Structure 1
Amino acid sequence: MKPLKGIHHISAITANAKENLRFYTEIIGMRLVKKTVNQDDTSMYHLFYADKRGNPGTDLTFFEIPNAGRTYPGTQSISETSLRVANDEALNYWLKRLAKYGVSHDNVQEVFNRKVLKFRDFEGQRLQFVSDETNEGVAGGEPWPDSPVPVHQGVIGLGPVELTVPRPEKTHRILTEVMGFREVGTYENDVDKKITVFATGEGGTGAEVHVKASHNAPRERPGRGSVHHVAFRVESEEELHKWVDYISSLGMTNSGFVERYYFKSLYFRESNGILFELATDGPGFETDETLENLGQSLALPPYLENKREEIESTIKPL
């Protein structure tokens, strides 16, 4: 198979889709590029926030589970999501904007030779802005021009994803021996936990996984503000079928080929129990909506259209 191209999307959990929509569009300034439902449970929203046209590598998505409890952070988790911005100066803008809206945040710091700004959303989702100033890898997307955030400070995609695991060597092996990642460095955080950095494809901020070793922490209890899974980019449907055959040949339990309409997918869990998805770059979100109208109405793939009336009667309008 060809190397994985980087991060495709990250899917998290919210208990309040309406407030989630307000936070990520009005404060963070991302574009709602698709308002649809969870194809495995059509009673819940699935919201996609991204760049101007929802390019692969820019999508932060949320499932709404209204009765989701709080998250108890711990190990065996996707413990931090990064949002890319163009340069270090953009982080100064975000310091002021987060303070203006009362968003919990830290100061700008340097992590793995990049400037970052860590913050939490209204449900405690663990996030950071990461500067692309020194990036020489996968290119970012194009900020939404109608965003309340100026284009030069806007979010251009997803950055490194952090995994916290009790047996890091097992995750390292899956990433390198199975998925074709390469180790590119290590660093320690402020509580002396070693973090190992892996990259795929062109590398850089849009193609890294940071694996944090946490041997004694309890397992995370997910809820609102936690991450459900991370997806990695596959070039084409043909390549994805190769991955399905390969993962199956290794005896790893997996979903097989899954039709998601906007992309095609394969799901499996790595050795510490974290859910990985491989997803194709296309067809994309303009399959059933024009670029100008992305996210404005409830979009359903053709195989759910016959349930539209039932679905619309179940979910609350945003």
Structure 2
Amino acid sequence: MELKLKGIHHVSAITGTAAGNVDFYTKTLGMRLVKKTVNQDDTSVYHLFYGDERGNPGTELTFFEFPTAWRSRPGTSSISATSLRVPGDAALTYWQHRFTQFEVDHDEIVERGGRLTLAFRDPEGQRLILVSDENDTGVAGGKPWDKSDVPAEFGIVGLGPVQLTVLRADRTERVLTELMGYRRKGQYASEVAGQPDIVVFETGEGGSGSEIHLEERDDLKQERQGIGAVHHVAFRVADEEELRAWIGKITSSGLVNSGFVDRFYFKSLYFREPNGILFELATDGPGFDTDEPLDRLGERLALPPFLEPKRERIEAGLKPI
């Protein structure tokens, strides 16, 4: 079996307040809350999934709620920026005006890696970048949620490039290219004087929805992960059969990994690359409409079957949102 990752599946970050998080990502950014569930490894906290109208793989930005966590300190061994795709260059102008209206901390529109982009921060300092699909080819985007007040022609259609910041880029590059099948696409100048170019890698059909941007920095300490940081990035695998083949390949490489994990909405494998960043491989299905009708996604607390018998206790420990 030829193993080939399809692109970015999801990115999971950390918030300190679920209610505020839902408000920003649904009302300000116009994304759909496609699943309101709990962290399966710690059911005392929410796990919130945002995406396109269906929460398709490649559109999902997720958050764990850890109210008592400290604030993150940016640094190496980190996922230092998450991109969100918008349909074209005109959308960036729309969002620039919207961010001013909603008092969202943002920068100017600039080119990164051959695309126009708009960097901004959520209320907790989460580092995000809107990236234009104006000239993008490769992995297709999704369809914006039609019940958002953001016009569809400007709406967020999925995840774009994920930036990794590391002390030793060669170590991460070997895992990406020799183990995971990524290919080097190009590079562009760092925004920090004296630092190496940021290197672009892509997989599968290529394009924004598949890219990893690898930044090497020797002027930073290691990141202190907390509120405002990203927990892990997940890559798309077609199905369970292919995931199990990946488990064998990664185990044979000598990297310690989780083995097969059933998340109900998808199946997973977790491992850390040599600079300490947590990677996940996740299947495209079964999907978020497995236990809820498509038109009611995210409206109630959804629990996978193995947690359903504990619903009363779990709900008692959560603050309603």
TM score, norm. by length of structure 2 = 0.98
**Rounded Cα–Cα distance in structure 2 between residues aligned with 1:24 and 1:298:** 18
Q: Deviations over 1:179-203 (max 9, x none)?
A: 0000000111221332111000001
Alignment equivalent of 2:272, drawn from 261, 269, 273: 269
CA RMSD in angstroms comes to: 0.6
Mapping 1:274-285, distance limit 5 Å: 274-285=277-288
Alignment of 1:314 onto 2:317: yes
Contact 2:198 2:213 in 1 (8 A): yes
Equivalent positions of 1:1-318 (< 5 A) are: 1-192=2-193, 193=195, 194-318=197-321
Distance of 1:276 and 1:108 partners within structure 2:
30
Query: What letter matches 2:79 in structure 1?
Result: I
The 1-side partners of 2:128 and 2:62 are apart by 13
Gaps of 5+ in 2: none
SS, match of residue 107 in structure 2 = coil
CA contact (8 A) 2:3 2:246 kept: no
State the SS of the aligned residue for 1:146: coil
Give the deviation of 1:62 after TM superposition: 0.1
- The CA deviation at 1:2 is 2.7
CA distance in 2, matches of 1:68, 1:96: 33
Kept in 1, the 8 Å contact 2:7–2:58? The answer is yes
Query: Bigger CA drift: 282-291 or 213-222?
Result: 213-222
Q: Alpha-carbon deviations, 1:130-186, whole Å to 9, x = none? A: 000110110100000001211111000000000000000000000000000000001
Displacement after TM superposition at 1:251 (Å): 1.5
Per the alignment, in what secondary structure is the counterpart of residue 149 of structure 2?
Answer: coil
Stretch deviating more after TM superposition (55-64 or 145-154)? 145-154
Identical positions, percent = 62
Q: Name the CA distance, whole Å, in 2 between partners of 1:55 and 1:118.
A: 24
- Distance, in Å, in 2 between the alignment partners of 1:272 and 1:105 is 29
What amino acid maps onto 1:175 in structure 2? L
Structure 1 segments (4+ residues) deviating >2 Å: none
TM-score (norm 1): 0.99
SS across alignment from 1:102: coil
- In the aligned structure 2, how far is the partner of 1:2 from the partner of 1:148? 40
Write the letter of the residue equivalent to 1:266: L
Name the count of aligned residue pairs.
Answer: 318
Secondary structure of 2:280's aligned partner: strand
Amino acid at match of 2:61: L
SS of 1:302's equivalent?
coil
Per the alignment, in what secondary structure is the counterpart of residue 171 of structure 1?
helix
Offset of residue 217 of structure 1:
1.0
Whole-Å separation in 1 of the counterparts to 2:106 and 2:248: 44
Q: Distance in 2 between matches of 1:68 and 1:188?
A: 34
Matches of 2:87 and 2:298, distance apart in 1: 25
Q: Conserved in 1, the CA contact under 8 Å of 2:200 and 2:212? A: yes
